[in-house]
Amino acid sequence: MSGWEDIKKLAKERDCTISDLLVLARNNDPFFIGSPAQVRAAEWFANLWESFDFTTGVHLRRVHYRLVSQRSPTDANGEPYENTQKCWDDLCSAGKFARHLALIDPASFVDRRNPEPHVYMVPGLGESPGWWHAFEDWRLPRIRTDLSSGIALDLPEVFTSGYEYEDGLQPYHVEVWAEKSTMNDVLIPLCERHAVNLITGVGFMSITSVVELLERVRRLDKPTRILYLSDHDPAGSQMPIAAARQIEYGIESYAPDADVKLAPLILTSEQVEECVLPRTPIKDTDQRKEGWERKTRCRSGGVGRFGGPSPRRACPNSRATCTGVSGPRPAAKSPGDLGVSPRAA
Mean pLDDT of 173-188: 92
Query: Would you state the pLDDT for residue 64?
Result: 96
In a domain, 256, yes or no: yes
- Beta strands 158-161 and 130-133: pairing type? antiparallel
Mean pLDDT of 305-322: 44
Query: Would you state the pLDDT for residue 329?
Result: 40
In a domain, 160, yes or no: no
- The length of the chain in residues reads 345
Please tell me whether the peptide bond between 91 and the residue prior to it is cis, using omega within 30 degrees of 0: no
Task: Name the range with the highest mean pLDDT among 2-16, 85-99, 106-120, 303-317.
Answer: 85-99
Query: Would you state the pLDDT for residue 134?
Result: 66
CATH code of residue 174: 3.40.1360.10
232 or 207: which leads in pLDDT: 207
Contact between residue 247 and residue 213 where contact means Cβ atoms under 8 Å apart: yes
Q: Could you give the C-alpha distances from 208 to 59, 101, 219, 327, in angstroms and in order?
A: 10, 15, 17, 19
Instruction: Tell me the sheet residues that pair with 229.
Output: 178, 266
Q: Compute the distance between CA of residue 7 and CA of residue 24 in angstroms, rounded to an integer.
A: 13
Does the structure show a pLDDT above 60 at 345? no
- 306 and 197 both lie in a single domain: yes
For the whole prediction, is pTM greater than 0.85? no
- 178 and 65 both lie in a single domain: no
Contact between residue 37 and residue 90 where contact means Cβ atoms under 8 Å apart: no
Cα 329 from chain centroid (whole Å): 18
Query: Would you state the pLDDT for residue 78?
Result: 94
What lies within 8 Å, CB to CB, of 256 at 6+ separation is 327, 328
- 191 and 283 both lie in a single domain: yes
Mean of the per-residue pLDDT values of the chain = 81
Query: Would you state the pLDDT for residue 158?
Result: 79
In a domain, 18, yes or no: no
Does the structure show a pLDDT above 70 at 77? yes
Q: H/E element holding 11?
A: helix 3-14
Does the structure show a pLDDT above 80 at 90? yes
In a domain, 22, yes or no: no
In a domain, 185, yes or no: yes
Mean pLDDT of 249-276: 89
Query: Would you state the pLDDT for residue 259?
Result: 95
- How many other β-carbons are positioned within 10 Å of the β-carbon of residue 249? 21
In a domain, 141, yes or no: no
Mean pLDDT of 145-150: 61
| Percent of residues, the chain, with pLDDT higher than 90 | 53
- Domain containing 222 equals 169-324
Does the structure show a pLDDT above 90 at 312? no
- 96 and 206 both lie in a single domain: no
Per the structure, how many domains does the chain have? 2
Task: Name the range with the highest mean pLDDT among 16-30, 127-141, 287-301.
Answer: 16-30
Contact between residue 118 and residue 176 where contact means Cβ atoms under 8 Å apart: no
- Phi then psi for residue 19, to 5 deg, are -60, -30
User: Of 13-27, 159-173, 256-270, which range is least confident?
Assistant: 159-173
